[in-house]
């Protein structure tokens, strides 16, 4: 019960952070590895995906009540992300994490500097008209991020938010809402692998899912009440933490 209580507390916190700016895996995955050291790695990742998928679904539903999502753009991006996440998972053995970490670290630093310097980036929601060019960009974003999530994963939600802001002139609040839909598709794709192969510890995953959902409800409420400026600050903080974590992992 102590282990389960520990995991549920971290699942709540992960759901709260993930609903606002993504990055819940930074909290939930280390907690699982710490609390269940004898479990297999695939089982821990499957358990994490089960809990986070439910939280992401809850956050997406909360956003849908308050935030308009451009489905013509987001649904094709989500479909591409779903398909390409399988390709990313299949490529795990071909591209080691030691190769991915430096590249992702550089991308995160560029993204953080760009966002910090452009003070008005994501402050106003003035989305571009969705034409053929935007649909192609959306498919490329969904496919690339889906592949990355299946292959490596850290910062998936943050990358999605930044790209929606940069290419489609969303504010950070609408970008967060749209990112949840795409992220949900990659979570479902992962679960379609983890569940049939028996890599979900349901005794832990289901209570964690309930707590992740509760955290997601709180996180999405805070994000919508505080607005795009607040989400932008959280986004920069989360990206900074990601940068520090990846740099630390490389130096170990």
Give pLDDT, residue 118: 87
Question: What average pLDDT does range 199-206 have in this prediction?
Answer: 95
How far, CA to CA in Å, does 189 sit from each of 55, 69, 146? 15, 22, 9
Give pLDDT, residue 145: 94
Kindly state the percentage of the chain with pLDDT values over 70. 99
Instruction: Kindly give, in sequence order, each residue whose CB lies less than 8 Å from that of residue 69, ignoring residues fewer than 6 positions away.
Output: 63, 174, 177, 178, 181
Q: What is the DSSP letter of 127?
A: P
pLDDT in tens, 14-36: 999 989 888 888 888 889 988 99
Asked if 181 and 57 touch (Cβ cutoff 8 Å), the reply is no
Give pLDDT, residue 92: 64
Angle between helix axes 97-117 and 156-168 (nearest 10 degrees) is: 40
Whether the per-residue pLDDT at 91 is higher than 80: the answer is: no
Q: Is the pTM above the cut of 0.75?
A: yes
User: pLDDT band at 204, cuts 50/70/90?
Assistant: very high
Asked if 155 and 242 touch (Cβ cutoff 8 Å), the reply is yes
Structure tokens, 174: 């609408």
| pLDDT winner (highest mean) among 24-28, 46-50, 208-212 | 208-212
| pLDDT winner (highest mean) among 105-109, 154-158, 210-214 | 210-214
Averaged pLDDT score across all residues of the chain: 90
Asked if 59 and 180 touch (Cβ cutoff 8 Å), the reply is yes
Whether the per-residue pLDDT at 94 is higher than 80: the answer is: no
Give pLDDT, residue 134: 96
Instruction: Kindly give, in sequence order, each residue whose CB lies less than 8 Å from that of residue 53, ignoring residues fewer than 6 positions away.
Output: 184, 187, 188, 190, 191, 209
Kindly state the percentage of the chain with pLDDT values over 90. 56
Give pLDDT, residue 150: 80
Give pLDDT, residue 154: 74
Asked if 20 and 176 touch (Cβ cutoff 8 Å), the reply is yes
Any alpha helices (H) in the chain, and if so which ranges? 2-21, 25-35, 41-66, 71-90, 97-117, 132-151, 156-168, 172-194, 202-226, 228-251
Give pLDDT, residue 251: 85
């Amino acid at each position: 019960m102590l282990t389960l209580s520990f995991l549920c507390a971290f699942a709540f916190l992960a759901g709260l952070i993930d609903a606002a700016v993504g990055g819940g895996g930074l909290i939930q995955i280390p907690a699982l590895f710490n609390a269940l050291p004898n479990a297999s790695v695939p089982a821990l990742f499957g358990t994490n995906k089960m809990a986070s998928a439910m939280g992401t679904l809850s956050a997406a539903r909360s956003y849908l009540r308050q935030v308009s999502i451009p489905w013509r753009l987001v649904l094709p991006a989500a479909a591409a992300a779903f398909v390409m996440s399988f390709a990313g998972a299949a490529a795990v053995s071909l591209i080691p994490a030691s190769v991915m970490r430096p590249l992702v670290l550089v991308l995160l630093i560029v993204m953080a500097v760009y966002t910090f310097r452009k003070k008005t980036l994501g402050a106003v929601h003035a989305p571009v008209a969705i034409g053929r060019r935007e649909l192609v960009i959306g498919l490329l974003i969904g496919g690339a991020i889906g592949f990355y999530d299946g292959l490596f994963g850290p910062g998936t939600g943050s990358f999605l938010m930044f790209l929606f802001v940069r290419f489609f002139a969303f504010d950070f609040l609408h970008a967060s809402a749209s990112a949840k839909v795409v992220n949900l598709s990659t979570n479902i794709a992962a679960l379609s692998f983890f569940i049939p192969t028996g890599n979900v510890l349901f005794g832990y995953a289901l209570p964690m899912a309930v707590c992740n959902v509760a955290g997601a409800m709180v996180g999405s409420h805070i994000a919508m009440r505080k607005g795009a400026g607040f989400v932008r600050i959280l986004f920069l903080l989360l990206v900074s933490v990601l940068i520090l974590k990846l740099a630390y992992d490389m130096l170990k």
